[in-house]
């Protein structure tokens, strides 16, 4: 594994990659291989073990991966092993505070990236200094179909648009480390959606890159992972909308419209989940 040549072959982007890990021994290696396969490597890799309870398999794998990264690349490797499970949002916050690069990229332990993800997205962030966050499309099982185009048009993500649909997948995000807002400490479901709304609602500029640069390997409603608990996800989403209304970020009509659409989509997900 990790046969990617000597330290001096590839260049490095000013990017810290953060991966929260919980019982991730079956998938973390694949995720890290996709980082090593990047045409432009990140400067820093941060792995946060969120109190895995799999008999030490995840922690041993993390140590092995970081040791190999350090030997075979110039990537600065960091890790933290938590004693208490805090959830992916807080685990990412911890990695955020440990990071030293200008930009952060989030990857989950059971996802991967297209080999040109960092190169393509980093170039866009560097060429558009007004952007605080960019994201992109994902596919399932690495079945990429897009042709990357340097002249691609970016789609702005406005607050109202994000209220009715979350266009931002965490595995796709690259953002400025300097952004002061963090994942909510007490939210374990839809914590990423809340962060994106908080950022954009407070003036951060976000754009969608219409390119397939990430991959997932599970069905949206499959067992395992945060999104499989549809009821708790929906409760969290409704709390987000209510919190925005209570804090005068949206008016009553928008609150009712966004909450009603959310409930409708939840019912459709619930029906679809029966087939998985």
Residue range 100-122, pLDDT digits in tens? 999 999 999 999 999 999 999 99
Q: Is the pLDDT at 8 greater than 50, yes or no?
A: no
- The mean pLDDT of the chain is 91
Q: Tell me, what's the pLDDT at 147? A: 80
Structure tokens at 68: 């190999």
* pLDDT band for position 276 (cuts 50, 70, 90): low
CA atoms within 13 A on the CB side of 250: 23
Query: Which long-range CB contacts under 8 A does 60-66 form with residues at least 24 apart?
Result: 60/25, 61/24, 61/25, 61/28, 61/29, 62/21, 62/28, 65/28, 65/29, 65/32
Higher pLDDT, 2 or 214: 214
Average pLDDT over residues 215-226: 65
Q: Tens digits of per-residue pLDDT, 188-210?
A: 788 999 999 999 999 999 999 99
* pLDDT band for position 4 (cuts 50, 70, 90): very low
User: Cα–Cα distances in Å, from 108 out to 33, 141, 151, 256?
Assistant: 13, 14, 29, 33
* Contact (CB, 8 A) for 202 and 138: no
Q: Tens digits of per-residue pLDDT, 121-178?
A: 999 999 999 999 999 999 999 999 988 877 789 999 999 999 999 999 999 999 999 9
Q: Is the pLDDT at 88 greater than 90, yes or no?
A: yes
Q: What is the pTM of this model?
A: 0.91
Average pLDDT over residues 26-43: 96
Average pLDDT over residues 44-49: 98
CATH top-level class of 12-216:
alpha beta
């Amino acid at each position: 594994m990790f046969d990617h040549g000597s330290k001096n072959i590839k260049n490095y982007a000013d990017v810290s990659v953060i991966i929260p890990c919980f019982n991730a021994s079956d998938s973390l290696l694949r995720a890290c291989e996709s980082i090593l396969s990047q045409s432009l490597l990140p400067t820093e890799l941060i792995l946060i073990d969120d109190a895995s309870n799999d008999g030490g398999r995840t922690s041993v794998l993390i140590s092995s991966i970081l040791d190999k990264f350090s030997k075979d690349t110039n990537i600065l490797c960091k890790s933290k092993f938590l004693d208490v499970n805090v959830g992916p949002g807080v685990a990412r916050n911890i990695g955020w505070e440990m990071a030293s690069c200008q930009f952060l990229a989030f990857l989950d332990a059971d996802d991967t990236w297209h080999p040109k993800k960092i190169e393509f997205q980093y170039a866009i962030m560097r060429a558009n200094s007004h952007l605080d966050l960019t994201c992109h499309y994902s596919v399932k099982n690495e079945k990429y179909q897009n042709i990357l185009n340097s002249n691609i048009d970016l789609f702005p993500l406005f607050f109202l648009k994000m209220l009715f649909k979350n266009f931002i997948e965490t595995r796709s995000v690259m953002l400025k480390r300097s952004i002061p807002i963090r994942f909510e400490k007490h939210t374990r479901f839809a914590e990423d959606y809340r962060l994106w709304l908080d950022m954009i609602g407070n003036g951060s500029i976000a754009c969608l890159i219409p390119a397939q640069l990430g991959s997932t390997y599970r069905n949206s409603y499959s067992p395992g992972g945060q999104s499989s608990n549809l009821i708790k996800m929906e409760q969290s989403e409704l709390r987000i909308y209510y919190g925005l209304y209570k804090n005068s970020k949206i008016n009553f009509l928008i609150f009712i419209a966004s909450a009603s659409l959310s409930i409708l989509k939840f019912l459709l997900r619930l029906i679809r989940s029966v087939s998985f």
